[in-house]
Amino acid sequence: MSITLEEEIFGLAVNPFTKSPEMVRRYTLKNSKGMTVSVIQLGAIIQSVCLPDAYKKVEDVCLGFDDIASYLANKGAYIGGTLGRVANRVANGEYTFNDTKILVTKNIQDKFQLHGGFVGFDSVIWEVVQKSPEGVIFRHVSPHGHEGYPGKLTCLITYQLDNENRLWVRYEATTDRSTMVNLSSHAYFNLAGHGSGAKGLAEHTVEIASDHIVDTDELQIPTGKLIDVKDTVFDLRLPVLMRDRLMQFENRQIKGYDNCFVVNGGRVQKSVAKVAKIVHPPSCRVLEVWTDQPGMQFYTANNLTSIVGKNCTKYDRHGSFCVETEKFPDAMNHPEFPSISLEPNEKYRHEVLYWFKVEESWKCCCNNDPKASS
């Protein structure tokens, strides 16, 4: 059986540019293994990822909402959203390029920009340029000067699902004048099920192929230094249990992971490589993250508090995780970081593969399940 595509109306949203209401559609890709992925035009958001576990029990492992109003009401959590033009932080909402100071908007406490500003790519309604079993392609043209960024930026995002339970996400962008681009996805996952909360996340093991993290100050703005993870809570080069690790953050200012891990040797690769593996042993579900990017922000939902998500489920702190592949935060202000500048004759490319698996070898850890021995 090949991949199928279903299209339906998800709701109405006001276009932030035209101020007119527009219909937002949802597209659901389904494969032969019973896995489905739903994406919506608002923010090119990943709204749902459903897949069976080792015992054929299907769960939605991606946090999200059932309606547009909830996405708008909880905009500050960026749940499932596309981050752009520039994901993560821009110090003081400014940068200098070719001796010209560029001022961008400061949407956090009037101190810095986060995830593209007041109307980031998570808040716009993306046009659909392709919808087929081969994938869904969204397009957005960000006007010159939007949120302070120069250049008309034309972006494409392709979502593709295959029969190996691989969700491919490909970002492309071109500009008509020098600008900055660093796109990412703020999908929140919990392999025990989107509503399993902190108890479910605590059961996960996490492994990230990273020797260094990007050092940041108290506002989480990069200092320009990289920190060796050896002998720190950030050493995830071997699988660690989230329950044990998150307890070690209790006396820290930031209560959990919210760090850019340097992956792929801190360089953009020609093709995707595996940078992280997250496992939920009780269900045997696994998520591998493969990317060509030099960084991955690992975030354990430290700031989520009592949000009501799909099926009236409560989303709380430490009840999910994000694996945001990207170039480093505030890279435009750190020439030593991989560059996020884009010129008119260039094309920005960014590929990430979320590979969902069921690893039967974990069944030895699941003997408390009455079905495990059958």
Catalogue the active-site residues.
Answer: 186, 324
User: Positive or negative, the Cα torsion across 183, 49, 237, 230?
Assistant: positive
Matching residue, tokens 């960024």: 149
187 is in an annotated binding site: yes
186 is in an annotated binding site: yes
Choose among 188, 99, 196, 179: nearest CA to 142: 179
Helix (H, G, I), strand (E, B) or coil at 36: strand
Choose among 140, 143, 151: nearest CA to 177: 151
54 is in an annotated binding site: no
- Say how far residue 335 (Cα) sits from the centre of its chain: 25
368 forms beta bridges with none
Matching residue, tokens 């790519």: 121
Matching residue, tokens 């932080």: 89
Task: Read off the tokens for 188.
Answer: 């929140």
188 is in an annotated binding site: yes
* Helix then strand then coil, % of the chain, to nearest 5: 10, 45, 45
Residues 6+ apart with CB under 8 A from 38: 26, 27, 28, 29, 46, 47, 48, 49
Integer Cα distance of 287 and 279 in angstroms: 6
Integer Cα distance of 126 and 113 in angstroms: 22
Q: Binding site residues, as ranges?
A: 88-89, 186-188, 258
Q: Binding site residues for beta-D-galactose, as ranges?
A: 88-89, 186-188, 258
